[in-house]
Structure 1
Amino acid sequence: MHRVGYVLGHGFQVMALASQAVFEFANLAAGEPFYVVDNGSLEGGEVCASIGMRVTTRPLVTRSRADTWMVAGVIDPLASPVSQELLAFLRRVAPKARRIAGICTGGFVLAEAGLLDRRRATTHWAYAEQMQQRHPDIQVEADRIFILDGPFWTSAGMTAAIDMALGMVEKDLGADIARSVAHRLVMHHRRAGGQSQHSEMLELAPRSDRIQQALDYARRNLATRLGVEQLAEQANLSPRQFSRVFTAETGQSPARAIEALRLEAARVMVEHGRLPLEVIARETGFRDRRHLREVFQRGFGVAPQSMRRQSRVAE
């Protein structure tokens, strides 16, 4: 039996609780109750989330034990000082636990406790710079879904906690169980820890359905030629109209946006799998391995092989 203890403070961000579904469905996939999940707080009793809902918790006391501790974050960690009592509790229980995790800005709590010194960590992208400034001994990697360094795990914001919990399930019960859980949760795939927090599709965010339709077509057909003519046809516009509307709605030219989508798709394939770079280049629409490497170097500052190695370490 593996006990998972959630540490909740008043004003905690309610999305932290969504990750509990991962452990619930892991029990179902495993066919036995492997995980037991408890909610705890310093005082016990009802704790109010940032949205106003209340959760009943058990008091965190000296004898409290868990195999995995999950520390929930808050909306604004800079405006929410952490109690010294909680920091002392975490310092006391960390050496006895298998792992301890900071969900989203919960990483600030681990940092304040000194648990992340001289380690790699991440947090919500909006607060990564502040974490680095406040804790220069931590190697903050802002553009990561989650990171594990020894027994300490940290995740980016919101839904990234689900990916982190799936990573824990994979460590505990194996890849097959983790995939089964992801399928039950209707997740397209489990994101690797090294994957970026940002999505090119979200960054582009066109206003009209016709431009969105062209982008959806492009994402499904990256291996093919994607000129302005092909995209304009999907949007039912002339090439000249399409280029003008596309740039006005996304702030990018069609050519630059397509290259960014190709690069994002290639990065996922590099991080997640073992396909040769020649195959990745072909399937994502780059001319060849050399072209892929050039765009990778320009976009991420590292070669594809280096990113693949970093991703495997992060997982």
Structure 2
Amino acid sequence: MAQDSSQLHRVVVLVDANSNPFELGCATEVFGLRRSAELGRELYDFTLCSAEPHTLMRDGFFTLSGVPGLEAADSADTLIVPNRPDVEVPRRPAVLDAVRRAHARGARLVGFCSGAFTLAEAGVLDGRRATAHWQWADAFRARFPDVQLEPDVLFVDDGGILTAAGSAAALDLGLYLVRRDHGAEVANAVSRRLVFAAHRDGGQRQFVERPVPDAPDESLAPVLEWAREHLAEPLTVETLAARAAVSPATLHRRFRAQLGTTPLAWLNGERVALACRLIERGEVRLDVVARESGLGTTANLRARLRRETGLSPSAYRVRFGPEQERLG
């Protein structure tokens, strides 16, 4: 039976003059591709919209035409707002009005990179947390002092409004939303299609120093792969350091340099992701989920899962567990 697109969560990308093609491509790749062949169902109803019949993209790279007008934004469940490099140029009033209408009716708003400027200019970020590309942090603070800018993170989830730093962080936030909407298994499948990390915590740093090595390869890939295969074991930072044949201090420096996070934070994130997958596959015994994911106790499982997903294990099972359980 064909899937009814009217029942799908509707994602609309609002494109404006001089918008960045990269973030538009990220949104299309995450939310717009058809997934029925690989997942057996579609995830989103996706479309673009623009204030003008012909929209010149960044630096005149190409002109976008043939997309719906701004009225499409009025039916969005998630509205991704315009971003562009000329942050000092005000957005057109019709675009800002469309953002305000979406916010007023409870749509989820998403800003990639300089999209935070669009949200702030529309007045929907006052008193809220947000992020933007690090190079525009000072300009953003000067123009929008009522917004709590967090310039050194990949993305910020402030309830119904989410913002991501530039470029690849748009993919991080997109996959985060897929995970929140459809669960870890689906997000992992989408990330595999992208050949991209399935889960990077939003609190990781935007700017990760990667000096050109003049010594043997110091990649963390081998120890990360090994750790993922041994999450049920009582792994510690010392365990990982010994596996990598370095001191804990050196391992910590490498994690910070290569991943922008700490070994312990990475380990906890991987364990929560595994716990989510176990619940999605139908495991109902919380003690088993806690043990096999390495989280240890059901109390720790509940605390970690709620922190990462905003849901208790039982609520997560209802939302993302096997279909027969959700329908039953």
The letter of the residue matching 1:2 is H
Q: Does 1:143 align with 2:152?
A: yes
1:258-298 superposed Cα distances (whole Å, 9 cap, x missing partner): 7632445552640562689xxxxxxxxxxxxxxxxxxxxxx
2:218 is aligned to 216
d(CA) in 2 for partners of 1:8, 1:275: 35
1:160-171 to 2 correspondences below 5 Å: 160-171=169-180
Map of 1:1-315 to 2, 5 A cutoff?
1-19=8-26, 20-25=28-33, 27-28=35-36, 29-43=38-52, 45-51=53-59, 52-56=61-65, 57-61=67-71, 64-78=74-88, 80-201=89-210, 204=211, 206=212, 211=214, 214-216=216-218, 223=242, 224-226=244-246, 260-264=253-257, 267=262, 269-270=264-265, 273=268, 312=308
Identity of aligned residues (%): 29
Q: Distance in 1 between matches of 2:72 and 2:42?
A: 26
Gaps of 5+ in 1: 228-255, 277-307
CA offsets 1:132-158 (integer angstroms, 9 cap, x no match): 221111110011111111200100001
Secondary structure (helix, strand or coil) at the match of 1:55 reads strand
Amino acid at match of 2:54: E
**Partner secondary structure for residue 64 of structure 1:** helix
Match of 1:233 in 2: none
TM-score of the pair, normalised by structure 2: 0.66
Match of 2:322 in 1: none
Deviates more, 1:26-35 or 1:88-97: 26-35
User: Which one-letter code corresponds to 1:38 in the other structure?
Assistant: T
Distance (Å, rounded) in 2 between the aligned partners of 1:62 and 1:275 = 38
Question: Does structure 1 retain, via aligned residues, the 8 Å contact 2:32–2:47?
Answer: no
Change (3 A) 1:130 1:2: same
Name the CA shift for 1:103/1:274 in 2 (closer, same or farther; >3 Å): closer
8 A Cα contact 2:16 2:50, kept in partner? yes
Amino acid across the alignment from 1:67 = D
In structure 2, the partner of 1:298 is: none
Q: CA deviation at 1:4?
A: 0.8
TM-superposition CA deviations, 1:95-140 (whole Å, max 9, x none): 2243011111011010011111111100111112221221111110
Aligned residues of 2:78 and 2:110 also touching (Cα < 8 A): yes
Q: Which amino acid is 2:50 matched to?
A: S
Residue 194 of structure 1 contacts residue 271 of structure 1 at CA under 8 Å; is this kept in 2? no
Q: 1:220 to 1:8 in 2, by over 3 A?
A: same
Structure 1 residue runs of 4+, over 6 Å off? none
Distance 1:263 1:314, change over 3 A: farther
The Cα of 1:225 is off from its aligned counterpart by 4.6
Which amino acid letter does the alignment assign opposite residue 9 of structure 1?
A: D
List alignment gaps of at least 5 residues for structure 2.
1-7, 224-240, 272-303, 312-328
Alpha carbons of structure 1 residues 262 and 32: separation in structure 2 relative to 1, 3 Å: closer
- The number of residue pairs the alignment matches comes to 248
Closer, same or farther: CA 93–268 of 1 in aligned 2, 3 Å: farther
Moved more, 20-29 or 263-272: 263-272
Please state whether the residue corresponding to 1:101 is helix, strand or coil. strand
One-letter code aligned to 2:20: Q
Output the CA distance in 1 between the equivalents of 2:219 and 2:10. Answer: 45
- Give the TM-score of the pair, scaled to structure 1: 0.69
1:25 shift after superposition: 4.8
Relative to structure 1, the CA distance from residue 161 to residue 167 in structure 2 (aligned partners, 3 Å threshold; closer, same or farther) is same
What is the Cα-based RMSD across aligned positions, in Å? 3.2
Q: Give the distance between the partners of 1:50 and 1:140, measured in 2 at CA.
A: 25
Residue 22 of structure 1 and its aligned partner are, at CA, apart by 1.0
Equivalents in 2 of 1:125, 1:3: separation in Å? 30
Superposition deviation, residue 3 in structure 1: 1.1
